[in-house]
Amino acid sequence: MGTSMSPTTSIDAAAVRRDFPVLSRTVHGKPLVYLDSAATSQKPEPVLAAMDAYYRETNANVHRGVYTMAAEATERFEAGRTAVARLVGAPREGTILTKNASEAINLVAWAWGVRELKAGDEILVTEMEHHSNIVPWQLVAELTDAVVRFAPVTPDGELDLEGLRGMVGPRTRMVALVHVSNVLGTINPVAEVAAIAHEAGALVLADAAQSVPHMPVDFGELGVDFLAFTGHKMLGPTGIGVLVGRPEILGSMRPFLGGGEMIRDVRKEGSSWNDLPWKFEAGTPPIAESVGLGAAVEYLEGVGMDAVRTHEREMARHLVDALSEVPDLTIYGPTDPDRRGAAVSFSLPGVHPHDLAQHLDQDGIAVRAGHHCAKPLMRVLGVPATARASAYLYNDAQDVEALLAAIGRARAYFS
């Protein structure tokens, strides 16, 4: 049932890769070198098998059925919630299953923001945010006459902590920031930001889509009020995300979506709500996806999140060192692997990132090209787009060498 090793063991990426069927394929006659895990990760056999087993053995709706298969389906579904809560040290009743990280952030923006924000209140985000942590706040600000403000990024691609500190004030109601940037790779000091925000009476939401899959993350240690992440970036399936919230805050919020499952009673005069976490899970939930996410968590726990972080620190070093060898290439974000994740954005003068990505694809190398859903950051960087290579536990130094060689060929082709 997949790779198992102690948390301190170095990862054998070649052995891990054998657990991922898609990584054995070829592209244009070349072995696939998958360097786009920041967009979505590949899925190991145990995840595929767990989801297949649910559909083959216990396919039934959850919570309401009293027959055997319904009880089995409910048990497997809720086991996924328990696993993901365990992974991030979260209270189970505060672990809400959504369809992705975007919905998790929207849940907070609409269920909390619409009722709590008033004219002149401020929502503080950063210039390095994914659109998912900008647009929901802009929508809610339009309805409430609140203001969205942007904390600056330093020239070397890190959060300007003192600049942020100077922007937090008595009108600040929410500070929403990314834990690890999907463009810059920057690891933000979320716990320190949370302390600053709480001192001013503001709440804090961390977008952890790029951190939970790649390093140990503990909800309590971060000190935030909400944590949002997604299953498909952490070896799990698409269609499922997670919002972790402090139960006392979630308990005071009204539901975001209405329908079946999230109610305690419905009368013509009005409705009352289910207990947490089901209060925020309207309708039939992502059952097979929760089963798959639980299997993904067990796989990551078998590898060990400390080992995953150690491996990715080395991959970040390999990527930065290799890309630094390319003449005129620009790397965005910190170069110190201790201060970043293994998603590295870069550009070549005179070569559009899309052209570069298509050329690399001819060598079987998959990288991302575009604005990475971070247009405000692109404008700060002064570029329309970048290419991005992002590694995970199934990548190794040979993948970086293949990338470097292919970039050299592309550079020669476009020169």
Annotated catalytic residues are: 373
CB-count exposure of residue 336 (10 Å: 0-12, 13-18, 19+): middle
Rounded-to-integer distance, Cα 285 and Cα 301, Å? 24
For 96-128, b/e burial (b = at least 16 CB within 10 A) is bbbbbbbbbbbbbbbbbbeebbeeebbbbbbbb
Report DSSP state, residue 180.
B
Say if CB 32 and CB 22 are below 8 A apart: yes
Structure tokens at 406: 């292919």
Say if CB 374 and CB 327 are below 8 A apart: no
For 251-284, b/e burial (b = at least 16 CB within 10 A) is eebebbeeeebbbeeeeeeeeebbebbbbbbbee
Q: Which of 332, 302, 309 lies closest to 392 in space, CA to CA?
A: 309
